[in-house]
Protein backbone atom coordinates (compact mmCIF):
# COMPACT_ATOMS: atom_id res chain seq x y z
CA UNK A 1 0.00 0.00 0.00
CA UNK A 2 2.81 2.39 0.94
CA UNK A 3 4.46 1.76 -2.44
CA UNK A 4 1.34 2.35 -4.45
CA UNK A 5 -0.08 -1.18 -4.44
CA UNK A 6 -3.73 -1.91 -3.69
CA UNK A 7 -5.10 -0.27 -0.56
CA UNK A 8 -6.57 -3.25 1.29
CA UNK A 9 -5.77 -2.14 4.83
CA UNK A 10 -8.72 -2.48 7.19
CA UNK A 11 -6.94 -2.21 10.56
CA UNK A 12 -6.90 0.64 13.03
CA UNK A 13 -5.44 3.99 12.07
CA UNK A 14 -1.87 4.64 13.26
CA UNK A 15 -2.97 6.79 16.21
CA UNK A 16 -5.47 4.31 17.60
CA UNK A 17 -3.22 1.32 16.83
CA UNK A 18 -0.32 2.67 18.89
CA UNK A 19 -2.03 4.83 21.55
CA UNK A 20 -1.66 2.26 24.34
CA UNK A 21 2.00 1.77 23.37
CA UNK A 22 2.75 5.52 23.61
CA UNK A 23 1.21 5.39 27.10
CA UNK A 24 3.80 2.71 27.91
CA UNK A 25 6.75 4.73 26.56
CA UNK A 26 6.82 4.25 22.78
CA UNK A 27 8.99 7.10 21.46
CA UNK A 28 11.20 8.36 18.63
CA UNK A 29 14.01 5.93 19.44
CA UNK A 30 11.72 2.99 18.59
CA UNK A 31 10.61 4.51 15.29
CA UNK A 32 14.28 5.24 14.48
CA UNK A 33 15.17 1.60 15.22
CA UNK A 34 12.43 0.28 12.92
CA UNK A 35 13.48 2.55 10.06
CA UNK A 36 17.13 1.59 10.55
CA UNK A 37 16.46 -2.17 10.62
CA UNK A 38 14.14 -1.93 7.65
CA UNK A 39 16.86 -0.08 5.72
CA UNK A 40 19.50 -2.68 6.65
CA UNK A 41 17.21 -5.49 5.54
CA UNK A 42 16.48 -3.85 2.19
CA UNK A 43 20.21 -3.23 1.71
CA UNK A 44 20.90 -6.94 2.35
CA UNK A 45 18.31 -7.75 -0.30
CA UNK A 46 20.11 -5.55 -2.82
CA UNK A 47 17.63 -2.70 -2.96
CA UNK A 48 19.23 0.48 -4.30
CA UNK A 49 19.94 3.36 -1.92
CA UNK A 50 17.45 5.71 -3.56
CA UNK A 51 14.58 3.25 -3.02
CA UNK A 52 15.67 2.61 0.56
CA UNK A 53 15.56 6.36 1.17
CA UNK A 54 12.05 6.43 -0.27
CA UNK A 55 10.99 3.68 2.16
CA UNK A 56 12.53 5.60 5.06
CA UNK A 57 10.68 8.76 4.02
CA UNK A 58 7.37 6.90 3.84
CA UNK A 59 7.93 5.34 7.27
CA UNK A 60 8.94 8.74 8.65
CA UNK A 61 5.77 10.31 7.29
CA UNK A 62 3.65 8.42 9.85
CA UNK A 63 6.00 9.06 12.79
CA UNK A 64 3.82 11.73 14.44
CA UNK A 65 0.69 9.62 14.01
CA UNK A 66 2.35 6.52 15.48
CA UNK A 67 3.62 8.62 18.41
CA UNK A 68 0.25 10.38 18.84
CA UNK A 69 1.46 13.96 18.65
Q: Does 19 bind ligand HEM (CB under 6 A)?
A: no
Minimum separation from the CB atom of position 6 to ligand HEM (A): 15
Q: Does 18 bind ligand HEM (CB under 6 A)?
A: yes
Residues 28-67 touching ligand HEM, rule: CB under 6 A, are 30-31, 34, 59, 62, 66
Q: Which residues contact 2 (CB under 8 A, 6 or more apart)?
A: 55, 58, 59
Residues making up the chain, counted from first to last = 69
Q: What's the burial of 66, exposed, middle or buried (CB within 10 Å: 0-12/13-18/19+)?
A: buried
Minimum separation from the CB atom of position 58 to ligand HEM (A): 8
Q: Does 11 bind ligand HEM (CB under 6 A)?
A: yes
Residues in contact with ligand HEM by CB under 6 A are: 11-12, 17-18, 21, 26, 30-31, 34, 59, 62, 66
Amino acid sequence: MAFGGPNNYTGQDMREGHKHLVARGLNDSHVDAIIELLGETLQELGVVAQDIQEVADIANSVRDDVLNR
